[in-house]
Structure 1
């Protein structure tokens, strides 16, 4: 059974960015819950010519809202205000006008559902309140907000743009997204009050004024996670309240909230090895506390041009499958059993296909002699040279014998030997080529050859 919205977890990051003429404030109560919070006000410094009636007409939801401001600020005459005096304007009275975002970039099978139409997004396209962004496998959408903040919708996610507003009184922006499935990653610029930024899920609300954090929602587990990379986040649920600082995370499920440290960044077993095999795969050094690992591949270290993402099986390698050639970057994180994604490390790597396949051997008898022709197929781009090795297996099968043939510098995809004596042999081929300023070398798997009398 899904958690009711009225019992949603509240998450707030108290990162302040003030304004010279207007600034919000609230008197915090002794305790705060997700369903009750102090009424916020905006401190407004009176300027020459200001009246309460003019302020209400220009910046509030209704012209008559000045009466509440007059009452709460104990103003005798709404048409006569002392220059330099500070008024506390209730934020809930302030008028917010529609704001816009735009598609900063996308890759893969992504969809923008807006104004009753569903289609692939376009770079630079305007996104309005109510739009829904969806991504498939290895797809990403980067959303640019009007204040310079950015949100990444990674693969297999669905995110609704639930609020895009700008306060008329000072231009402060107020944005909110809802993660309906999958994940969202945000880097939020410090915001003028009373603006803010929030990411909601069916079981949590993460609200900030400027920080770097991630939010996910697992519908099957009815669990939401929030990971703080920069700044600080206050988490309230029921009567409980806790503070998540940078490198900490919160897992919320079934009314329970857990504050945990984020796992450190994992490490690759062979960080400098080029990816030459048919499938791109990375072996990861086991990290205590990690259940699995997540990797993202991009054309840049900042992960702006990301194009592939994969999770490992528990204890297994990180496998991406086929990938075009190039110089890329891998961002690697570890995931805890609670679903929290840990700190990240970024590696550069070369993807250049280099291998040997289609190995086969054939016997050709001519003039009472036996010729053994070994063939293979080069896998990769560009010219390659080959090295052929053959050895005899030990009689008892426990070890290999010494090399009988070791021939480098071959340019053809074949090699011929004659008059091999009866026995059991093994042979293999190495492919070598220069790509991206590096010498790439890869051996085939040994093949067995049996020669009878």
Structure 2
């Protein structure tokens, strides 16, 4: 069942918590994210408290503390599939960093313009302008895309000393953040996105979080999260689900994400810069984004349209058109992505395309 509230596009002040959901099969060992101040690990065959204490904590002697915390009867015979809690204060950590993989438009790190290849450390703050986009890569392969008009602080950015895991906490003061966490499916230590409205704990999840003065939205494309609100409501969101919460912390409901729009291929001979597509049932608007890569992690421009028509410009090389349907609650659906053939465009003296407005480049065929 869908709900009817205004879309959310600005800062919100509602406290919600989206806690980690653990999806590993009971038979496979897997670092399973975090819950509160505890790292979670799902036990596999041959695991013992001593071996796990030695690998993840400051020493094997911590097995007794883990036994007490987890109510384990026999430390030598751990139940396969047990979700073991390991306090973060017992885990040795080292300073980490993120690498700027993509910058488009105006973006700053602590008032300094960002550029690809820059390193971002704990304590840094990233801000994007009206046409700015940034993508960060973490050491575990996680990708974080910060769209335009957003402000994100790197509250915590560390790595486990004895395991290839990260401990990351990001604070979104306003705007949006899109994440693809631990894409190689090897598990995650801790990955949290905090806003004035939410705490989102993730495990191997493709998740979007948005905030506004009217409430908050969460969209789960892959994986699962546990959603808890200030109004004492809770819901477990899994693949293909989204939820909206109002400014008082009341859960307005859980809905199925809208499907990806059906986009026709762009004719290389068509230089109109406009593409019509069938309307998506239940959509009230559409997000149209241009990206330099098919994964959408190198966005170049973005706009919201009320009608099923996407406008685009061509670059000197192949680019990609992404369209996302948005429902009445402001919950975004799945993305449709198609190729935009390269075109003959006006370039500057250094060879980069000259951009003009949302459509991006100036087509030489127009003149």
Q: TM-score, normalised by structure 2?
A: 0.72
Alpha-carbon shift at residue 226 of structure 1 (Å): 1.2
Aligned counterpart, 1:302: 295
302-311 or 17-26: which moved more? 17-26
Residue 206 of structure 1: aligned partner: 200
Distance apart, 1:352 and its partner CA: 4.8
What does the per-residue CA deviation read over 1:167-202, in whole Å, with 9 as the maximum and x for residues that have no partner? 345453221212221111111114546x12121222
**Distance of 2:129 and 2:147 partners within structure 1:** 9
CA distance in 1 between counterparts of 2:280 and 2:71 reads 61
User: 2:48 pairs with 41, 45, 51, which one?
Assistant: 45
* Structure 2 CA distance for aligned equivalents of residues 25 and 298 of structure 1: 30
User: Quick check: 1:230 aligned with 2:216?
Assistant: no
Q: 1:283 aligns with which of 272, 276, 281?
A: 276
> Which of 319, 329, 342 is the equivalent residue of 1:338?
329
Matches within 5 A, 1:342-357: 342-350=333-341, 352=343
- What is the DSSP-based 3-state SS (H/G/I as helix, E as strand, rest coil) of the residue aligned with 1:344? strand
1:420 equivalent in structure 2: none
Match for 1:102 among 96, 99, 102? 99
Q: Show the counterpart of 1:147.
A: 140
Judging changes above 3 Å, is the alpha-carbon distance between structure 1 residues 37 and 191 closer, same or farther for their aligned structure 2 residues? same
Q: Is 2:250 the partner of 1:256?
A: yes
The alpha-carbon distance between structure 1 residues 176 and 323, as it changes in their structure 2 partners (threshold 3 A), is: same
Structure-2 change in CA distance of 1:99 and 1:15 (3 Å): farther
Structure 2: tracts of 5 or more residues without a match: 1-10, 79-83, 346-361
Within 1, Cα distance between the matches of 2:30 and 2:292?
A: 42
Q: Relative to 1, partners in 2 of residues 1:216 and 1:89: Cα closer, same or farther, differing over 3 Å?
A: closer
The answer to whether the 8 Å contact 2:257/2:333 transfers is yes
Larger RCO of the pair (alpha carbons < 8 Å, separation 6+): 2
User: 257, 262, 268: which is aligned to 1:267?
Assistant: 262
Q: Aligned pair in 2 of structure 1 residues 235, 22: CA closer, same or farther (>3 Å)? A: closer
**1:288-307: per-residue Cα shift (whole Å, max 9, x none)?**
21111111112332223321
Q: Please give the secondary structure, in 2, of the residue aligned with 1:93.
A: helix
Q: Who wins on radius of gyration, i.e. which is larger?
A: 1
Cα distance change on mapping 1:83 and 1:291 into 2, 3 Å: closer
Alignment of 1:34-433 (within 5 A): 45=48, 58=58, 90-97=86-93, 98-113=95-110, 118-189=111-182, 190=185, 192=187, 195-218=189-212, 220-221=213-214, 223-237=215-229, 238-254=231-247, 255-257=249-251, 258-268=253-263, 271-272=266-267, 276-277=271-272, 280-312=273-305, 314-315=306-307, 317-319=309-311, 327-350=318-341, 352=343, 381=364
Paired with 2:29 and 2:262, the residues of 1 have a C-alpha distance of 49
Query: Conserved in 2, the CA contact under 8 Å of 1:212 and 1:229?
Result: yes
Q: How does 1:432-443 map to 2 (within 5 A)?
A: none
Task: Report if the CA contact (8 A) 1:295-1:330 is conserved.
Answer: yes
Are the aligned partners of 1:11 and 1:205 in contact in 2 as well (CA < 8 Å)? Answer: yes
Paired positions, count = 326
- Name whichever structure is richer in strand by fraction: 1
* 1:310 partner SS: strand
Could you tell me how far apart the structure 2 residues matched to 1:56 and 1:12 are?
19
Give the whole-Å Cα distance in 1 for the aligned partners of 2:227 and 2:262.
Answer: 31
| Superposition deviation, residue 213 in structure 1 | 1.4
Instruction: Give distance in 2, aligned partners of 1:83 and 1:12.
Output: 25
Is the CA contact 2:159–2:166 (under 8 Å) kept in the aligned structure 1? yes
Separation in structure 1 between the aligned mates of residue 246 and residue 70 of structure 2, nearest angstrom: 42
CA offset digits 1:432-451 (Å, max 9, x no partner): xxxxxxxxxx9xxxxxxxxx
Displacement of 1:336 in angstroms is 1.2
1:436 matched residue in structure 2: none
- Equivalent pair of 1:311/1:318 in contact (CA under 8 Å): no
Distance 1:24 1:293, change over 3 A: closer
Asked if residue 13 in structure 1 is aligned to residue 21 in structure 2, the reply is yes
What is the distance in 1 between the residues matched to 2:55 and 2:147? 43
Gaps (5+ residues) in structure 1?
27-35, 76-81, 355-378, 383-430, 432-441, 443-453
Cα contact 2:286–2:325 (8 A) shared by 1: yes
The verdict on how the C-alpha distance between 1:67 and 1:271 changes in structure 2, with shifts beyond 3 A counting, is: closer
Contact 1:173–1:191 (CA under 8 A) maintained in structure 2: no
The answer to whether the Cα contact below 8 Å between 1:55 and 1:66 also exists between their aligned partners in 2 is: no
